Amino acid sequence: MKLDALDRAIINGLQGGFPVSERPYAEAAARLGTIEAELIERLERLLEAGLLSRFGPMYHAERMGGGLTLAALHAGPEVYERVAEQVNAHPEVAHNYAREHHLNMWFVLATETPERIAEVIATIEAETGCRVFNLPKLEEFFVGLRFEV
Amino acid sequence: MVEEQAAAESMPDAGAIDALDRAIIAATQAGLPLVPEPYRQVAEALGVEAEEVMARLRRMLESGVIRRIGVVPNHYALGYRANAMVVWDLPDARIAELGRRIGALEFVSHCYHRPRHPPEWPYNLFTMVHGRSREETEAKVGMIAAMLGEADRGHQLLYSSRILKKTGLRLGG
């Protein structure tokens, strides 16, 4: 899909600040120099094409009372697929990425309560036989808003 | 962003959300409805007034439970194919100062202080750096390293080679 100037303006200009009002698309459209129906259609297309992974409120998991962490482990090539399956089978695992490093599996755990993080990690260690490194966020300096296309 | 965090930190009960807040979160997790009155649609599905849904969303934005409302670009689909998690070993005493400077760079999308696990894992700052090619990403990492100077006691780029799972965060009930 080829992006035109309006698509770019939507991607660049709508990464935050979408209004909370009766007709928010009409309001946001006016700011972008377009109309409500056009903005809605563009968002549909960008989402369908996968150029946007999401449109809506971004929640701050820790502030909702749950637990959130980044965890990493090393799995050898001969067990890698099995370990990935065992890790992914946990509903608390939100994303899991293979990365090029000795620690070659990186996953995000999101749990209903902060205490549950340690339990899920212990279970994954027992199931996989791999040591899990728990890397919770201690402080946040910035979480993306300014991505430009 | 700074104001948002300061506001959230000054509210001790910022995380105090009730059953209706949770229902609103659950109803909008997949995204906001693409209809002229999206908040009314959410409200109708939950059997409450649109004004109530909007008031709660505004409150959650203020308290920081909602970071923002908007689009999440898919870096990869938009041509940024070389996205690296770049991890740094920085002096603990300077982590806040340096973290803020790195986080302010336009090509850095996430910047977090996380614990070390020595000796296997000596790094204490995590960043995501985005580029269209590995050369571009590496040039950007070089700029950060130059900016850090002696404070950079070591860093590594971890490119993702495969997505093993991606369901997004889910919130029960």
Burial class (CB in 10 A: 0-12, 13-18, 19+), A88: middle
Q: Which residue has the higher pLDDT, A146 or A140?
A: A140
Return the CA Rg of chain B.
Answer: 20
B44 inside domain = yes
User: Among all residues of chain A, which has the CA nearest to that of B166?
Assistant: A95
pLDDT digits over A35-50, tens only?
A: 999 999 999 999 999 9
Interface membership of A52 toward B (CB under 8 Å): yes
Same domain flag for B94 and B147: yes
Helices (H) and strands (E) in chain B, counts: 6, 5
pLDDT digits over A10-21, tens only?
A: 999 999 999 999
Q: How many domains are contained in chain B?
A: 2
Contact by Cβ (8 Å): B153, B165: no
Q: What is the ipTM of this complex?
A: 0.80
Same domain flag for B59 and B99: no
B43 inside domain = yes
Here the CATH number for the domain that contains residue B132 is: 3.30.70.3460
Place of tokens 């209004």: A19
Mean pLDDT to the nearest integer, A17-33? 97
- B31/A47 Cβ within 8 A: yes
Return the CATH architecture of domain A61-135: 2-Layer Sandwich (3.30)
The alpha-carbon gap from B112 to the nearest alpha carbon of chain A, in Å, equals 5
Closest Cα partner for A98 from B116, B154, B165?
Answer: B165
Q: What is the pLDDT of residue B106?
A: 83
Closest Cα partner for A95 from A125, A61, A141, A129?
Answer: A61
Please state the pTM of the whole predicted model.
0.79
B24 inside domain = yes
Contacts across the A-B interface (CB distance below 8 Å): 244
The residue range of the domain holding B53 is: 2-63
B114 inside domain = yes
Same domain flag for B54 and B89: no
Closest Cα partner for A70 from A129, A117, A11, A27?
Answer: A117
Test mutation, A15, A21, A64, A125, chain B, max B CBs within 10 A: A64
Place of tokens 């194919």: B81
Q: Which of A53, A100, A142 sits opposite B158 (nearest CB)?
A: A100
B138 inside domain = yes
Mean pLDDT to the nearest integer, A105-115? 93
The structural domains of chain A, with segments of one domain joined by +, span 5-48, 61-135
